[in-house]
Structure 1
Amino acid sequence: MSAQPDSRSESGRPEVLVGPSGCEREAIHVPGSIQPHGVLLVVDPDDGRVVQAAIGPGAADAIVPDPVGRPLREALAPTAAPLLHDLDVRVPTLGTTHLGLVRAGETLHHLIAHRADDAIVIELERALAGEPGSFDEVYPHVRAFLEAVQRDGDVAALTALAAREVRRITGLDRVLVYRFDPDWNGEVVAEDRNERLPSYLGLHFPAADIPAQARELYRLNRLRLISDASYTPTPLRPDVNPRTGRPIDLSFAVLRSVSPVHLEYMRNMGTGASMSISLMRGDRLWGLISCHHRDPAIVPYHVRTACDFIGQVLSLQLAADETTTVADRRGALRAIQTRLLARMASAEQYVDGLVASGDDLLALAGADGAAVVAGGTIVRIGAAPSGDEVQRLVDWLAGRERLDVMATDSLAAAMPGGEALKDLASGVLAISISQLHDSYVLWFRPEVIRTVTWGGDPRAHAEPSADGLRLHPRKSFAAWRETVRLRARAWEPAEIDAVAELRTAIVDIVLRKAEETAALSERLTSINKELEAFSYSVSHDLRAPFRHIVGYAQLLKKYEGERLSERGNRYIDTIVESAISAGTLVDDLLGFSQMGRATLTPVAVDMNALVADVRRRTEADTHGRNVEWRVAPLAPTRADPIMLRLAMQNLIDNALKFSRHRDPAVIEITSTATPEETIYTVRDNGAGFDMAYVGKLFGVFQRLHRVEEFEGTGIGLANVKRIAERHGGRVWAKGRVDGGAAFFLALPRR
């Protein structure tokens, strides 16, 4: 499942996890053992004593037989003593350091140290006869690579150069450069080899070959060597660090043991030894330089250091090359952005400016088609799906978690039924330009059918052994071709960033328009306040004259009525009735005016108690009538109690008034709670109304019945609407002529 043996997940324990996700769950940083060609000691930094040890036969001559519990100086050969001074200062917080060479009899050993789990880890690795004694001896090879890097600029040339130079320095049979894609699938992009191992150039490998925890180790520790695929691990004794009670973290150990599954995987590939060097782009793993040899082999320490240096230089060059390419692309897209912004800023509606040059809108994302959805309209550009298909896409986007930018190169995998749009919209890039409305700009790319050659069937997985205790990796690495469908060319990060910047610009333009509208609204609000003040003043001043008219007319009838004719008395009754009606109208106008000026004081309101109290107050008006009340348990709410009482009073009075000719009159009061609001309903079986005129119901002085039929000033429902709006709520009504009516008052729950 991988072109390079070291790309398989490594095990963190001698036992292997069995199951579909076993490799992903292996704790590969705590294997509890080492490769046998060296020695590893865990040292307590406080007293300098060895607390754990793993002694491989390859370096046993450099250490005493039982070092645990001894001071480090006594555990190692006497020639190591000069190299052990000031360890606490010389050993870095992160990464390894080479302390020097230790002679034990006729052999030399590299002394390497790093920190782990609040301990110092010392490693001894036997030096090969004739190997470079220092980095200076291999530097001429590195210098040749550095000089060549200056001449080779693109990724293909740089990676091919690195593969060639690493194989020349190491003498191994095959060196691959392996690059990850955004989904962590890999591709061999460069190769240098002899005929002892087959070619994997151009082959792809699935992300499962290198699980996340293995990628993290590659990111932390840039170089790893497996000298013999058939080695027997040397266990660490004791198996846990007595300082922590846990296995020691060997992430940075040169000798760290690997999974038996991985070793079997190497043998299946015909690989006896491997070395890997991480290629980084910032803190992210870009790829690997993967080195293979058919037979067991040890790459000398200073040669590995040179290869690590080459890996670092290649990482920097690749990053610089990609940065330059991306910068050039961003510059071209920014020029397109500038033209689009200029058109939008000068247009009355930003949509008009956005679509004025369809070519620029398409070029901004490198798309074949686009669509702008705003204000209930859809404008399509280029090779875009139909209006109905675009609306289906918008509905799908609106039903998901709202993101500023959404990008997919496989709509079929993301949206149910997306495969139907493959010819025009296998890839979709979308920006949301409103938090309140379903407004989007979308770009489309068609399906691109391509063939991917894998290094073996990517569907093949490691299988459990007959006893179920361990996993066996696949054995075939023959090229396996797959035809990839329902996928478009991937959106580049620069394109995604460009449309995200366009979204910001559109939102800024919309906000500017909103500010202009807000300024106009503020002016209208000021005018409305002046009108309210005028209404209040006039209403207040008219109350006294109407009361005087009623009072004096009634006095006139009381004291002079006997001397007046029947006609005169009828005139006086008309004057009284009209003056009372006018006074009521003035009172209602005054209340309506005050409703817009009063301070809102929301508190928790028991709607059951409030409605019960309103019903008691209507008993005098309903005396002698057959009224059937159907009041369900009502949900509580939070509102201004005085205003809410007035609203319910008006709705209930309205229901009683228009059902006076029914026997019985049925008044039903219920509530419904949604996540956003609580809705109160007052329903009657009265005269009802024609829904064609429902828009007039809540206006001031708007009546749908003659005053001779049903009295009233036409302000009550306008008051209900104003109260709802003051609370951030809403009102509406449903009815039919002679079939009753239902009025709905919705108040927000927050």
Structure 2
Amino acid sequence: MSAAGTPEIVDLETCDREPIHVPGSIQPHGALVVLSDPDLIVLQVSDNVAEFFPNSIEAALGSSAADLLGAECAPLLRDLGSRLPPTGEPLLLRAFRAGDRVLNAVGHRSDGVIVLEFEPASEESPSSSGLHPIVASFIAKVQGTSAVSELAQITAREVRRVTGFDRALVYRFDPDGTGVVVAEDGTGRLPSYQDHRFPESDIPKQARELYRRNRLRLIPDAGYRPCALVPARNPLTGTPLDLSHSTLRSVSPVHVEYMRNMGTAASMSVSVLKDGELWGLISCHHRTPRVVPFELRTTCDLLAQVFALQVAAREHAADYVRRVEIQSVLTRLLAHMARADDFVAGLLDHPGDVLAFVRAAGAAVVSEDRCGLIGRTPTENQVRRLATWLFVEQRKEVFHTDALSTVFPAAAAYTSEASGLLAVSVSKLHPTAVLWFRPEVIETIRWGGDPRKTVEAGAAPGRLHPRKSFETWSQTVRDRAVPWLGSEVDGATELRNAVVGIVLRKAEEMAALNVELQRSNRELEAFSYSVSHDLRAPLRHIVGYAELLKDVAKDKLAKSELKHADTIIESSIYAGKLVDNLLAYSRMGRAALDHSTIDTGALVTEVRADVMSEFPGRRVRWEVGPLPTVAGDLVMLRLAVRNLLANAVKYTKTREEAVVEIGATTGADAHTFHVRDNGVGFDMRYRDKLFGVFQRLHRWEDFEGTGIGLANVRRIIERHGGRTWADGEVNRGATFYFTLPVPNDRERE
């Protein structure tokens, strides 16, 4: 508690910001020397350098490496710069004698300098020939295992045997950053943490990054006194030396305190990297101080690398098998959907495959008018609300979570059916989706200490202390499902793409049918026009001559004959009415207009881009004046504008630079638009044919087209209450006009 009696806010990000890669000091079981490259002049030393070499700090700084290290180090310094990896990876150079003891030398690059670190070589350290049987035996053991847990146990046992630590743990990082002990081997002198979890804050992000970059870490004595670098800053950069790859780097005071609170005096960690990322750690602990020679640490690094390769091989193999299973089910689902009338029916009619696809307990297929449920799911209303939330809030093609209620609170009502959700969106216009559900899995987790008390505030501002207790703390986890595998998410993505493809193909088929229907309607209109035009005159003639005959010969015809004449007249009049009704019926089939407010300037910009995509490489200079806002059917007017702009580009293809001008004037009653081009033009004698169905003034071989575009323009504009006409001159271009009414005040309201 703070002095005011309120809880003090502990900023966990303080740990993430701690500059642990530039501590300015090292651990005292070795010495560090910084050399310039390539002349090997001593720039910095650790303040314990005199304990390893005869020179004082003052004598060492500015001297040559050969003078400081002695004649025995000549082979070590020869071609030193060329031997060190440019990546900064530490390299064991060789052992050499310094006075009365033998030192191991490890070198790496950092901040443009060469960093040499020296540790006493242990007489107990095995030679390289002695290390081979250890590694070979380990490889033979792990190759005979299949489960990762068994691999980890063998690794923990072998590393503890090689190093002699009281406890060796294999520690895996989960995606959320928490760690779990998957294997352990120990002497019993330290408590067991098998299957225990540790919070993400125990190993902050930047610490995990250092573990990734530098695989080996040894702390022989948690009670050590740090040895500072002299001078404190790199003379070449003026900044603290980056010790990310140092084997002696001093550790954070928080970590030292953490070790003490755990009851461990010495520790060693070896990183397990899978595909270049930090999979976990092999973490070793000892109750008393313990030094592990570099050679043995290197052996443990080799064991960790073998373990990592074996883990990767097994996980990749399992992933491959799962992907093959998913592809097999996907192939069946695609076949089902291809045979069905729509993808919804194709999925709902084969529930077993839908669930097996991603190992779900339930699924739902939601479209505009349907919501089909499979297996164990929320109710239809709950599923629809969930699909709407995904469509409105998430707007992702693929969405997945193993804790749905944390992002969608309403899902707390059905965690037993849907704590896990994997969903793919099929449409960007409507909440159409395929959803898979996994139920809640209630799990009891054992933590190495209370995860809610990861750190404590210290007396000094910003100073944090790790928790003091690591006693087992149990937690029951609810509202979570088994996480979705990457292969399952990828499979759902592939299914989504396939469904979208099926939907688009159906849309294309419908569009083709619509075109055919439009063609049939045009033929019907043409037929109706022909009937009304060509039959009206004969029918009028029949009526007229029959009435004339009846009038002239009424005195000569019998009553029955006059009745026959009346029948002819009545039937002809009826036939005329039939013709008129047929024509009216064909016009009744036209769709109703869907009026909205349209910015024709934005419409022209959109259509221009669309038109130009069909004429790559064409040089077209567009001259677009101010255009008004109108009222009309957006879909129809877009088609009309597109036909006019496409014609302008098409009929200017003989010009080196096409010029297309688009403008408008506004009168009291109408907006008059024009589209002018500098193309081939036309003979004004035939302008009346321009807007007719299938009427063309140019050969198809010269300018492709169906001859229906301008007819559509006229029909659309006329449906909007406007009119169309054109002016042109052969080889001098053409101008097409159309009008749209200006809404009156009442219409504007």
Q: TM-score, normalised by structure 2?
A: 0.70
Question: How many angstroms does 1:96 deviate by?
Answer: 1.2
Query: Distance in 1 between the 2:489 and 2:300 partners?
Result: 36
Where does 1:660-739 land on structure 2 (aligned, <5 Å)? 715=718, 717-719=720-722
Partner of 2:554: none
Q: 1:607 to 1:338 in 2, by over 3 A?
A: closer
CA distance in 2, matches of 1:528, 1:407: 48
Matched, 1:23 2:29: no
In 2, Cα distance between the equivalents of 1:507 and 1:42? 61
1:534–1:302 distance in 2 versus 1, CA, 3 Å: farther
Q: Are 2:202 and 2:454, in contact at CA under 8 Å, matched by a contact in 1?
A: no
Q: Which amino acid aligns with 2:166?
A: D
User: Hey, what's the Cα distance between the residues in 2 that align with 1:306 and 1:385?
Assistant: 54
Q: Is the 8 A contact 1:407 1:428 kept in 2?
A: yes
Equivalent-residue separation in structure 2 for 1:344 and 1:108 (angstroms): 74
Residue correspondence of structure 1 range 280-291 to structure 2 within 5 A: 280-291=273-284
Query: What secondary structure is seen at the aligned counterpart in 2 of 1:236?
Result: strand
2:26 maps to: 34
Which residue of the partner structure matches residue 369 of structure 2? Answer: 376
Paired AA for residue 97 in structure 2: R
Provide the C-alpha distance between the structure 2 equivalents of 1:215 and 1:63, rounded to a whole number of angstroms: 37
Task: Give yes or no for contact 1:30–1:251 (8 Å, CA) kept in 2.
Answer: yes
* Number of residue pairs the alignment of both structures matches: 570
Inter-partner Cα distance in structure 1 for 2:135 and 2:499: 52
Q: Tell me the CA shift for residue 477 of structure 1.
A: 0.3
* Cα-to-partner distance string for 1:108-148 (whole Å, 9 max, x where unaligned): 1111101111211111111223322x332222222211111
Aligned to 1:504: 497
Question: 1:623 is matched with which residue?
Answer: none
Q: Structure 1 37/436 Cα, relative in aligned 2: closer, same or farther at 3 Å?
A: same
Tell me whether 1:116 sits opposite 2:110 in the alignment. yes
Residues 33-53 of structure 1 deviation map (CA, whole Å, 9 limit, x = unaligned): 111111112211043212121
Distance 1:227 1:81 in 2: 30
Residue 514 of structure 1 deviates from its aligned partner by: 2.9
The letter for the 2-side match of 1:649 is D
Deviations 1:440-489 (A, max 9, x none): 10011121111111100000032222233622111100000111111112
> Is the Cα–Cα contact under 8 Å of residues 190 and 201 in structure 1 kept in the other structure?
yes
Report the counterpart of residue 164 of structure 2 in structure 1: 171
Distance 1:602 1:351, change over 3 A: farther
The corresponding residue for 1:545 is: none
Q: CA RMSD in A?
A: 3.6
Q: Which residue of 1 aligns with 2:191?
A: 198
Q: Which one of 210, 222, 238 corresponds to residue 245 of structure 1?
A: 238
Deviation at 1:356, TM superposition (A): 1.1
Cα distance between partner residues in 2 of 1:268 and 1:478 = 11
When residues 719 and 226 of structure 1 are mapped into structure 2, their CA distance, relative to the original with a 3 A threshold, is farther
Matches within 5 A, 1:306-325: 306-325=299-318
* 1:136 corresponding residue in structure 2: 129
Whether 2:122 is the aligned partner of 1:102: answer: no
Cα distance 1:62–1:371, how it changes in 2: closer, same or farther (>3 A)? farther
Aligned to 1:443: 436
Distance 1:385 1:31 in 2: 55
- Contact (CA 8 Å) 1:650, 1:720: kept in 2 or not? no
2-structure distance, mates of 1:346, 1:716: 40
- Deviation at 1:640? 5.5
Equivalent position of 2:119 in the other structure? 125
Aligned-pair CA distance for 1:604:
5.5
Contact 1:135–1:306 at 8 Å: present in 2 too?
no
Q: Do the aligned partners of 2:25 and 2:46 also contact (CA within 8 Å) in 1?
A: yes
> Aligned-pair distance for 1:92?
0.9
- Could you say if the C-alpha distance between residues 602 and 743 of structure 1 is closer, same or farther in structure 2, counting changes exceeding 3 Å? farther
Corresponding residue SS for 2:208: helix
**How far apart are residue 396 of structure 1 and its match?**
1.2
Contact preservation (8 Å) 2:671, 2:742: no
CA distance in 2, matches of 1:299, 1:36: 14
Letter in 2 for 1:37: H
Distance 2:103 2:432 in 1: 69
Is the 2:12–2:201 Cα contact (8 Å) retained in structure 1?
A: no
- Could you tell me how far apart the structure 2 residues matched to 1:117 and 1:23 are? 24
Indicate yes or no: 2:230 matched with 1:209.
Answer: no
Q: Is the 8 A contact 2:405 2:411 kept in 1?
A: yes
Aligned partner (choices 404, 419, 434) of residue 397 of structure 2: 404
In the alignment, what sits opposite 1:185? 178
- 2:49–2:57: 8 Å Cα contact kept in structure 1? no
Distance 2:742 2:301 in 1: 74
Deviation at residue 435 of structure 1 after TM alignment: 2.7
Identical-residue share of aligned pairs (%): 46
Contact kept, 8 Å, 1:34 with 1:255, in 2: the verdict is yes
CA 1:86–1:291 in 2, change beyond 3 Å: closer, same or farther?
Answer: same
TM-score after normalising by structure 1 = 0.70
Q: Secondary structure of the residue that 1:28 maps to in structure 2?
A: coil
What SS class does the counterpart of residue 57 from structure 2 fall into?
coil
Contiguous gaps of at least 5 residues in structure 1: 1-16, 538-591, 612-638, 653-698, 703-713, 745-750
- 3-state DSSP of counterpart to 1:344: helix
Separation in structure 2 between the aligned mates of residue 59 and residue 492 of structure 1, nearest angstrom: 55
CA distance in 1, matches of 2:446, 2:50: 41
User: Unmatched 5+ residue regions in structure 2?
Assistant: 1-8, 531-592, 594-599, 609-621, 632-660, 673-712, 725-735
- Kept in 2: contact 1:275–1:290 (CA 8 A): yes
Equivalent in the alignment of 1:461:
454
Query: 1:416 offset after TM fit, Å?
Result: 3.1
1:417 aligned counterpart, secondary structure: helix
CA distance in 1, matches of 2:455, 2:627: 65
Preserved CA contact (<8 Å) 1:153 1:321: yes
- Quick check: 94-103 or 159-168, which moved more? 94-103
Note the alpha carbon deviations across 1:419-451, whole angstroms, 9 max, x for none. 122121111110011233321100111211111
Decide whether the 8 Å contact of 2:403 with 2:480 is kept in 1: yes
1:649 — aligned with what? Answer: 669
2:626 pairs with one of 605, 625, 641: 605
1:423 aligns with 2:416: yes
- 1:732–1:155 Cα change, 3 Å: farther
* CA distance in 2 between partners of 1:147 and 1:226 (Å): 30
Correspondence 1:334 to 2:327: yes
1:525-540 matches, cutoff 5 A: none
Q: Which position in structure 2 is the counterpart of 1:589?
A: none
Bigger relative CO (Cα 8 Å, ≥ 6 apart): 1
Q: How does 1:244-263 map to 2 (within 5 A)?
A: 244-263=237-256
1:377 CA drift (Å)? 2.0
* Contact kept? 2:669, 2:741, Cα under 8 Å: no
Relative to structure 1, the CA distance from residue 732 to residue 235 in structure 2 (aligned partners, 3 Å threshold; closer, same or farther) is farther
Instruction: Provide the residue aligned with 2:588 in structure 1.
Output: none
Contact kept? 1:62, 1:77, Cα under 8 Å: no
CA contact (8 A) 1:59 1:124 kept: no
Quote the Cα distance in structure 1 between the aligned partners of 2:410 and 2:331.
36
- Helix, strand or coil for the counterpart of 1:430? strand
Matching residue within 286, 296, 299 for 1:293: 286
SS, match of residue 176 in structure 1: strand
Deviations 1:55-91 (A, max 9, x none): 4379533655332212211121321122101112111
